[in-house]
Amino acid sequence: MDRAEIGVFGGSGFYSLLEHVREVKVDTPYGPPSDSVFLAEVAGRKVAFLPRHGRHHTIPPHKLNYRANVWAFRSLGVKAVISPCAAGSLQAHVEPGSFVVCDQFVDRTRGRADTFFDGPIVTHISPAELYDPVLRRVAIDCIRANGIPVHETGTVVVIQGPRFSTKSESRWFHEQGWEVINMTQYPEAYLCRELGMAVVNISLITDYDSGVHSGTEPVSAHEVLRVFQENAVRIRKVVLDMIEQIPADLEALGAFQSLAFSRGDGHAASEEDIRLFETRFIW
């Protein structure tokens, strides 16, 4: 049976050098994911890798089928998700080449399908502490152990894409005190929590956004790709180290248990009061 306990959103660089990688196609109620899921074993842990933008990076951020990607992980049994991403800096002290382990997000996207809970039972998942503190601590320790500059906290503002920010937008985000800007963390991370999976983000800083805070040139896709490729080897090592260090008891993270307080129908409960994914998945 195809199963995994840890999921990683990332390209082929994460699994291309691993042995005995199996490619599986996963069907979901929301259509196809971005690509096949690649299953492997790392340090005795069963891991699922999914290229967020497709293996050839052909799907732009605003066209990603986030629900299908997240559902695919959960259907395989994943309980913890590592979600690295390329990101721009909004503050001068957050330098390109450093990593940020974000603890908050701000949603500036529009029109994205961003919930599994469309009724008939109203459900509200709190994102107040979206990113799991235990996984964040593991990420910070592994990044630091690899000699990479790391910011232990940060707010990522998620924009719609594919365009970058104007200078006025970037200045506004900067003045709010937010550190990081990206195009994919919402709704990806939030949807993980809706399905009871713990999630951690590592933002790989590639640039200074529109450049207004650092006196640099505005960001370009070419520059983002260049720096991201330089970071590829480093983030691969960090992710593989994290997989080895993540606690064995993933249920103790409490992501699934937190769903118990999310229903909008008061304290009424019965054996029939279950979520759609609980009828299909094995926890």
Paired tokens of 38: 């690649």
For residue range 79-104, what is the model confidence (pLDDT) as tens digits?
999 999 999 999 999 999 999 999 99
pLDDT at 119: 80
pLDDT at 123: 85
**Which of 148-152, 167-171, 214-218 has the largest mean confidence?**
148-152
pLDDT at 54: 93
Question: Model's pTM, two decimal places?
Answer: 0.91
Domains, the chain, in order of start with CATH, read 6-279 (3.40.50.1580)
b/e per residue, 129-151, with b = 16+ CB within 10 A? ebbbebbbebbbebbeeeebebb
C-alpha 85/C-alpha 38 separation (Å) is: 18
Averaged pLDDT for residues 192-216: 87
- Rounded to whole angstroms, what are the CA distances from 179 to 92, 97, 111, 235? 9, 14, 24, 19
* pLDDT(224) > 70: no
Which residues, at least 6 apart from 147, have a Cβ–Cβ distance to it below 8 Å?
A: none
Instruction: List active site positions.
Output: 207, 209
* pLDDT(226) > 80: no
pLDDT at 223: 64
For residue range 40-68, what is the model confidence (pLDDT) as tens digits?
999 999 999 999 999 988 999 999 999 99
Alpha helices, H only, 34-89: 66-75
Averaged pLDDT for residues 141-158: 98
C-alpha 182/C-alpha 102 separation (Å) is: 11
- Rounded to whole angstroms, what are the CA distances from 160 to 78, 208, 226? 27, 18, 22
